[in-house]
Structures are given as C-alpha cells and as structure tokens.
Structure 1
Amino acid sequence: MTTDSPSLSSVRSRGLPWFPIATILLGVVAVFYIRSLPEFERNLKSWLTAAIPLLVVILNCLWFVFTPRFSWRTRLTGLAGLLILGGVAKWTTRVDGTLDGTGVPNIVWKWSKSEGPSVAKVKVAEAAEGWTPDAAMLAQSADVPQFFGPNRDGRVTGAKLAGDWKAVTPKELWRQPIGLGWSAYAVVQGRAYTQEQRSEEELVTCYDLFTGKLLWSYADPVRFSQWQSGDGPHATPTIHEGRVYAYGATGLLNCLNATTGKPIWQRSVLGENKLENIEWGVSCSPLIVDDKVVVTGGQTKGPVLFAYKLDTGELAWKAGDDQACYSSPLLATLAGKRVVLSNNVRSLTAYDPASGAVLLDYEWGGTNWPKASQPLVLGQDRVFLSAGYGMGCQMLEIKAAADGSLAATQLWAGMKMKTQFNSPAVREGHAYGLDDGRLACVDLATGERLWKEGRFASGQSLLVDDLVIIQSESGPVHLAAAKPAGFEELGKIGALSSKTWNHPTLAGRYLLVRNDREAVCYELPLAK
C-alpha cells in the first residue's frame, strides 16, 4: 500500500539543524562584539567571553535532548554520555587560582602540582646584627621605607635614570625563589623587607638589597588562602626608626626590630575587634603618623581605621563607620588640615591624626565591587579617585566647612581612568596609570584622556621623574615616557614569567620586582 505521507525518519533528517547553527553564529558574533568595545572592562569581557560559549553549549545540549530530529534512544544515549562526561570532568579537574586579574578560574588536572615557589629552608646569614652593606652600592641606593614610593604617592624623584633600555640593558644582580604572596619591598639602608608565605607560616623577611641574601625572618603560624587572590600576605612592611611594622593577611600587626627581626609587640586587629576578614585578605600597608601606626579594619561594618602607639602597641583610637577595602591609608594636608585619608567600600573618609575624629565622609563608587587604588592628592584642595569594575574616576575639590570639618565637591567624573589593582601617579598636572590594563595619560584639569596604549593587564606602575616603570601582570617590566604628547615605550626586560600583582620598588638605581614565586633585583643604567 502506498502513501504520500513522509516517514518519521525522513522528517527527522530533513533540512539543516538551524538552531545549533544560529546559536553558534550568534555566540561568535556576541564574543567579537564584546571584545571590540573600547571602554568595556577586561573583567566583564573575560567573564562574558567565557560565559557565552558555555551558554551556547548548554542551549544546544537542551536542543539535542528535546528535538524530535533524533530518536529517544539516541537522545537518551547522548544525555547519558553528557552526564558521564560531566562526572569525569568533576573528578579529574580542579580550580587552581585564576588565570589573571579578571578572576576567571584556572582549570587544571587534579593530579597536577601547583606551580608554587621552590623555596627550601633558606639559611639565614650568620651574625645578621653585624651585617654591613656594600658601601659603594649603598651610595647609589635610596630609602623607600613604605609602600607605593618614598612618599606613598607612586612617585620617585631625582633618580636620574637612563631613558633608553634598548641601548643599555639593566643589569640583573640576583634572582632567587621567594614565598607566596603579593607584597612589595620596603628598603632602608641596603636592607629589603617584604612578607611571604612558606608552608603554614606567614613570614616577615629581610634581605641584603645587593645580594639577595636572607638576613632574618620572623614567622607567624597562620596562612591566608582564597581561590581567586591566592595564598599569603598582600601588604608591604613599613620601616620607621629601626622598627618594622608589618600587617599580615589575617590581621596580625607586628612590630619587629629592623636589625634582628626580634618581636617587640603584636596585635590581632581583626580578632581583638571581632571583625570578619575582607574577602581577598587584609592588604593595608601600615601608615606611620606621629607616634602612631595606622591600619585598616575588616569586612564587618564599623571602625575603618585603627591607630596603635608605636612604642607599646596600645590602641590610641579607632574610627569610622564603613567596611575596609584594599587600599592603604595615607597622610595628607587638605584645606589647611592635616588628615589621614582612607578609601573604603562605601566612602572616602578623612580623620584627625591625633584623635581619629571623622572630618570627611564622602560616598563614591559602588559597594558591590572592591577598591584597591590609592587616592591621589593634588595640592591642598584636590583629591583624584579611581577604581575599576565600572566605577571610573572623579576629581574632588576639598574645602573647610564652618564646623571645622571638610566638605567635598565633585568637579568632574568619567571612565577615562579605570584602575583595578593599579594606582596612578601625577606629573605636571597629568595622571599616569593603568586604565583597565593599558597605560593612560589623563589631564587632571578636565578629565580628558590624552592617550591609552600598551597591554599590561592587572599590572602596576611607578612614576620615576619623566619615566614610567610598568610591571606587567605577565611578568616583564617595561619602561615608557611620561609625557602628554603620546605613548613611547623605551625598553623592556623579561624579569618574571608568571602572574605578578606585586608593586615594583625602586631604591636609587636598584629595581626590586617579585611575585609569588621569584624575586629579582636589577641595577638600572643612569643618564649620562
């Protein structure tokens, strides 16, 4: 018996599978469009670039399960295969941190070893108290006793560096493994101080600047770990009058003898005040103000800053009503008042250094994303703020109020400097910093971005006279000109070869760079 009706099998096989073809094409177009947006931040680009293909796969799996194009037996077999494949992936892979500063997880085999530092038990130099640096080399160094440059403003002046690394390459003095962590170096009289994680101990360490020889180490039996930020401390020690003040990732504030590393006092800032740690770990580098050391609090809403007496560690004051973020407090003079500035989750705040009284509470940015950039103080009445994650930048005018407090007025705002881990620095009315991973120059009078070049990802920058030293996230260090006319790269050194979030330290002509695996010191060429 014949019939004109087509068989079920012929219906199932008729025509092209338009749904998967359309979703794949749309996914490709969407990825290319997102990647082409010039002001769309790297974080969102990376997450969407990863999420869109995943969504396409999920939609096509659902189409395969429910389409009548295939028999139930074929669809059930395919579904079973997908479930088995998912189970195998779960049991054979794991997340090993992030690929980069965008936070996209790094998926590795479960049996693979993490590429951590190969730091053995480093022998401490004998008779560290009697150690003396090389006098000739010491004469060409300079003290950098705290985070973000000698004055905590991202600038080094008077270094007289050569402006061409292509003609004269920096000389590598030493290279060695180092413990986990994102701390930078503080340097005083030929000693280089940092913080690092070795096994289950968080260390404050002191090295010979010129040889890399370990002079002493102090250990606390604690370990901070978070899958995105990694393990170990994030802050940089501060050196003051023969003492080291170091703030660990779990909230331990240590005061140590700078010559021997012997402990003088310790405070558990978060523990004593019943504060929950911030998500990616305490990152504040201690600030010395008069007879006090000032550090930030935790994620629990309440006091933002804690001031302790330098000699005894006794609490002098605690102040503020916000949550701490990932920047460090700094000392400034605004509208004739000497203040401690703090960049917080909700606000920018200013405090009286003597009493902790709140003199300014200015809300800015969002509360759902982290702020890590340092406020940039311009003269006595301007503060430049910047952050990543869609917050952008703005310029504030600070004036004294009738009641003795300070008032902030926004002069302009924009998205032309979107700093993430990086903090900008100022030269002759222009800010130089990493705008979403690319070096940018912004006119601070108008907020206009004059140029934006290079690709340095979640790196760091340091302004040195009319030069910019850029530590890229991937490890190499670049030299560029700091000039409004345009971007000019002046050289590059390989330096490191893995994810680097640590800030570079320039002590005279000696450049210290490190990450969570390796540390290197370079002697930079000087201008003729």
Structure 2
Amino acid sequence: MRWRLFAVILLVIVGAVGWVWFVRDADSRQDRVLATEGILSGGGVALLIWLAVLSRLRGRTRVLAGAAVALVAGVFFSAFRYAGVDGDLIPVFVPRWRTVELIVTGAPLTGVAMDFPQFGGPGRDGVVTGVALLRDWEGTPPSLVWRRPVGGGWSGFAVVGERAVTHEQHGEEERVVCYELGTGEVVWSRGNVAGYTSKLAGEGPRATPTIEGGSVFTLGATGVLSAFDLESGRRSWAIDVIADVAGKIPAWGLSGSPLVHGGNVLVGTGAAQGPSLAAYDAATGARVWAAGEGSAGYASPRLVTLAGVTQVVVFNNNSVAGHDPSDGRVLWSHPWSARQPNVAQPLPVGPRRLLVSSGYGIGSELIELTPRVGGGFEVATIWASRRLKSKFASMILHDAHVFGLDDGILTCVALATGQRRWKGGRYGHGQLLRVGSDLLVMAESGDVVLVALDGDEHREVTRFQAIDGKVWNPPALAGSRLLVRNDQEAALFLLPVK
C-alpha cells in the first residue's frame, strides 16, 4: 500500500505535466512552463511528505533517504548558482567554477569596417547594408579577435570608428565602458551609483548606448540618462528621468535605447500615467518636452515616416503611438494589451502601415494610418494573428514576408495576410539582424546563425558558437566585425566576407 501511494503520486505528476503540454489550451509556452514548475514543486513536496510520514519505512531508512536528498541538493547548489530564467521562464543554473579569461589573439581588423552607432544599427531597423558575408563558416570560420569578462546587464554595443561602447553593472555602479575595438582594452569607464536587479531578469542596464555627433548617450535601468564625450569619456550631463517625471522604475527596468533627433535625446519614462516619452536637450540635458499617456513599455523609440508624416513611434505598456518629434504631441494612439511586457520594436512595412507584436500569447497586428481632415489619423486594423508572437526580438521585413521569433522559434508570415509560411529552428529568445539576403540570428544559447531569408522554407545556412551562457543582448555588426556579449563576457569576431 505504501509503495502504491508513491506510484500514484508519480503518475499524477507525469499525467499533469502531460496534460499541460499536450491537452491544455495555453496562451504561450511560458504559461506551460510556469504550470509545469508548479506541478513539479507540488509533486516534490508530496513525495517528501510521503517519505517522512506516509511511507512507513523504518526510521533509519527515512533518515538516510532524507540525507541523500539533502546531499544531492547541497552538492548541486555548491557546484551551480542560480542565474535567473531564460526567455521561456525556465530557471538557469551556471557552473560556479566557470570564469572568463581575457583572450587577445592579435588578429588584425581586416574585412569591412562600418559604424553601428545605436540599437538596431545605423537605421535603427536591424538592417546592415554594405557587406556580403561568406556563407560557409565551417570551411572559413569566423576569427576571434578578443574575448573578455564584462559586467552584468543586457545592453548591446554601439560602435563608431575604433570605439565600442556598452553599459555594464559593476557592484553598486552602472558603468558606461568604452573599449578599443581592435584589442578589447578599456579606453575609459564612467560610473554612477545605481543598480537594478531581479531574481528573474538578472541585474544591470538593459538599454544600448547611442553614439551621435561625438557624444555617447546612455539610459540606465533605474532611469539615469547621461551624455559623455566619446573620445575622453568626460560626462557632459546626467539627469534622473524617473525623478524628473515623478515616475517609478518599471518592473523590468528601463530598457529603451535613447533616440537622438533634432538636437534632442528622446527616451521612454517610468511614469505610470504619463508622460510616456520625454525629450532632453542633447547639449545640456534640459528637458524640452514630455508627452503621452500611460506608462512606457520596454521597446526603444524610433523615428519613422508614416502617411507622409515624420514621427516617433513608441510601444507603451497599453498602446502603440506616434508623436510629433518637435513638441511631443500625440498624433495617434492604438490600444494594446497591457498584461505582458511590450518589448519588440514595431516594424514599418509600407507608407502607412505598421506591424506590432508581443509575446505571451498576444501575437501580431498590422495597422494602417489614414490622415483625417483637419489633422490627426484614423488607425485601422488590417489583420491580427497569433502566428507571430515576438517577445524580445525585432521583426525583419524582406520581399513581402516578415521574419520573427515566435515564442523562440523562427517564423515567417506573409505580410499581406498574416498567414504563416513556415516555422522552424528553435533559437530561443534572441535577436535578429538582416544582412543582405540572410538573417543573422543571435540565439539565446550563444550561437550565431545565418538563415536564408526565404519565404518558402526554413533554411539554416551556417552557424558557430560565439559565447557561453544565456544571451539577451543585441549583437552589433559593424561591417563584418561582430560584437557579442551577455552578462558575463564579450567577444569580437571577424566574419568572413565574399
């Protein structure tokens, strides 16, 4: 009887997990993961109660069994440390003995040299032009130039000339660090006492620096907006955006990369009821305007032209909206679900159309703007689909097809209808860049993958392992020079070119 109860508990656990994954209708993979974790935790407690109370095993046997469980747990947690969760909310444990050593190969910076001055590249659209990558990385592998330890955070690199700048957490300080591109040596490092941390999302800055006109603009996870001289690292000014708009730090920290336009620096704020977007003078840091209703999301503001009007598109917590960049006036707004973080960049896909997408079961919506007589815009939904649910990564448009990571699996949908063309390749919740006719995927696992931008089928061209551990940081492709990092290490590779 006592072992029958043990078997029943195991069967209930297995059955419940099977029901969650194969029978239950869930909005997202994350919902299934959370339900599975709850079942396994509850089942583990039930098994321990059985062992201690209901098994009727001899006292010595129960003590030895309990000691064995404790020993296994102790050995595991002595060897591994908890490092948050991955994009599917699965706990991540990394070896405590793993360290990152400084490696400088001395390889010269050959290939194609270009700037990558902000999140998403020169156009802030995830498109890299002017370089043709060789597609056989087995025959001609990428060359490592350097690898080095870095501070925590999910910021990417901005590259101008021979300078590469990122944002890191070092103890109690958020530090803006400028590296020599060819060697990985620190040129300058400037910090301020600030720190964001989360048991799920890790610690440190999230936003990628923006380099414009010889200045570096950064936004820390706690809302410190700063300007530095690129060459010397001298801080020009700094302002606490959260305090300036009487806001609060969002659940996952501020993560929108600064947008520089018209002499101003535009950033999302932490105000719960608005303003959701603020502009500061790039030379002085003085606030120019603040506007918008509702709280800011986690995407970066982007300058686009829709319906013939230049505007700044922002993805807020409960809406997507367009602002006049001169005064912040809201030109239009379209409601969006607020039950999940909104992170992926809205994608302009035509003169009047914008594609918006979120993860956690929400999906995508193609909207169209039509100018009203007398000003403003009408916003209409062309189609809505759950075939593409982009959680972190920006989407890429190519030849009337949209490519994105749907719950971590690369997916292609037809732009005109939203119908899925194909789905294949689990790359996790990484990041995407378009390079010619290929898609460069920075997988969550640390692999860099080339996938053909083919609307008919998923074709993986080549790949290599670039970095160890979870990668949420966007890559920077400065010509053929690929900079990658996570919350532990950074590396520069020279990708082979045609």
- TM-score normalized by the length of structure 1: 0.85
The residue identity in structure 2 corresponding to 1:319 is A
Q: CA deviation at 1:33?
A: 4.4
Q: Which of 442, 466, 469 is 1:495 aligned to?
A: 466
Residue 150 (structure 2) aligns with: 178
**Cα-to-partner distance string for 1:141-165 (whole Å, 9 max, x where unaligned):** 1111110122111111231111222
Q: In structure 1, what is the equivalent of residue 486 of structure 2? A: 515
Give the corresponding residue for 1:100.
86
Q: Is the 8 A contact 1:116 1:516 kept in 2?
A: no
2-side partners of 1:138 and 1:268: how far apart?
41
Aligned residue type for 1:445: A
Shift of 1:139: 7.8
Q: Deviation string for 1:81-123 (max 9, x for gaps)?
A: 989x89x989x96983324223344579xxx95968679xxxx
- Structure 1: distance between partners of 2:385 and 2:474: 26
Give the aligned partner of residue 195 of structure 1: 167
Q: How far is 1:368 from its partner?
A: 2.1
Aligned to 2:370: 399
How has the CA–CA distance of structure 1 residues 82 and 278 changed in structure 2, closer, same or farther, with 3 Å as cutoff? Answer: farther
User: What's the secondary structure of 2:243's corresponding residue?
Assistant: helix
| 1:500–1:514 CA contact under 8 A, matched in 2 | yes
| Cα distance in 1 between the residues matched to 2:97 and 2:29 | 25
Q: How does 1:281-296 map to 2 (within 5 A)?
A: 281-296=253-268
Mean alpha-carbon deviation: is it higher for 19-28 or for 393-402?
Answer: 19-28
Determine the structure 1 residue equivalent to 2:300: 328
Q: Check the 8 A contact 2:245/2:271 in 1, yes or no.
A: no
Partner of 2:10: 24
SS at match of 1:52: helix
In the alignment, what sits opposite 1:424?
395
Q: Is the counterpart of residue 159 in structure 1 residue 108 in structure 2?
A: no
Deviation for aligned residue 1:60: 5.7
Q: Which amino acid aligns with 1:260?
A: S
The answer on 1:467 being equivalent to 2:453 is no
Partner of 1:218: 190
Structure 2 contact 242–271 (Cα < 8 Å) conserved: no
Aligned to 2:336: 364
* 1:51 corresponds to: 38
How far the C-alpha of 1:407 sits from its partner, in A, is 2.0
User: Within 2, Cα distance between the matches of 1:306 and 1:419?
Assistant: 26
CA distance in 2, matches of 1:450, 1:66: 55
Aligned to 1:478: 449
Q: Write the distance in 1 (CA, Å) between the matches of 2:442 and 2:152.
A: 18
Q: Distance in 1 between matches of 2:276 and 2:97?
A: 35
1:363-419 Cα distance to aligned partner (Å, 9 max, x none): 012x22111100001122110011111111111111112241122111111111111
Q: For 2:218, which of 223, 241, 246 is the aligned residue?
A: 246
- Equivalent residue of 1:197, what SS? strand
User: Is contact 2:85–2:200 with CA below 8 Å preserved after alignment?
Assistant: no
Corresponding letter in the other structure for 1:34: V
Quote the offset at 1:219 in angstroms.
Answer: 1.4
C-alpha distance in 1 between matches for 2:97 and 2:336 = 39
**Is 2:111–2:494's contact at 8 Å kept on the other side of the alignment?**
no
Aligned equivalent of 2:112: 140
| 2:426 counterpart SS class | coil
Alpha-carbon shift at residue 32 of structure 1 (Å): 3.2
Distance in 1 between residues matched to 2:77 and 2:142, nearest whole Å: 41
State the number of aligned residues.
Answer: 493
The letter of the residue matching 2:319 is S
Equivalent residues of 1:398, 1:407 under 8 A apart: yes
8 A contact 1:34–1:40 mirrored in 2? no
Distance in 2, Cα, partners of 1:310 & 1:399:
33
The two structures, once aligned, show a CA RMSD in angstroms of 3.3
Cα distance in 1 between the residues matched to 2:364 and 2:158: 28
SS of aligned partner of 1:454: strand
Partners of 1:498 and 1:383 lie apart in 2 by 34
Task: State how far apart, in whole Å, the 1-side matches of 2:40 and 2:50 are.
Answer: 15
> How many angstroms does 1:323 deviate by?
1.1
Indicate how the Cα distance of structure 1 residues 235 and 116 shifts in structure 2: closer, same or farther if over 3 A, else same.
Answer: farther
The 8 Å contact of residues 184 and 504 in structure 1, kept in 2 or not, is answered as yes
Counterparts of residues 109-124 of structure 1 (less than 5 Å): none
Aligned to 1:263: 235
- Cα drift, residue 188 of structure 1: 1.1
Equivalent residue, structure 2, for 1:3: none
- C-alpha change, 1:458 and 1:364, in structure 2 (3 Å) is same
Contact 1:117 1:179 survives alignment (8 Å): no
Query: Partner of 1:498: helix, strand, or coil?
Result: coil
Q: Residues of 2 paired with 1:428 and 1:39: CA distance?
A: 32
Letter in 2 for 1:495: A
Query: Greater Rg, structure 1 or structure 2?
Result: 1
Task: Give the distance between the partners of 1:327 and 1:234, measured in 2 at CA.
Answer: 11
Amino acid aligned to 1:498:
G
**Identical-pair percentage:** 37
Q: Is the 8 A contact 1:163 1:467 kept in 2?
A: no
Q: 1:405 to 1:498 in 2, by over 3 A?
A: same
Would you say the 8 A contact 1:279–1:299 is kept in 2? no
The farther-off stretch of 26-35 and 180-189 is 26-35
Query: Which letter does structure 2 place at the counterpart of 1:21?
Result: A
Cα distance change of structure 1 residues 317 and 144 upon mapping to structure 2, 3 Å threshold: same
Residue 50 of structure 1 aligns with an amino acid whose one-letter code is: E
1:411 maps to what in 2? 382
1:129 maps to: none
Structure 1 residue 273, shift from structure 2 partner: 2.3
Q: Does 1:390 align with 2:361?
A: yes
For 1:114 and 1:202, the matched residues in 2 are separated by 25
* Deviation (angstroms), 1:248: 0.9
Contact 1:439 1:454 survives alignment (8 Å):
yes
**TM-score normalised per structure 2:** 0.90
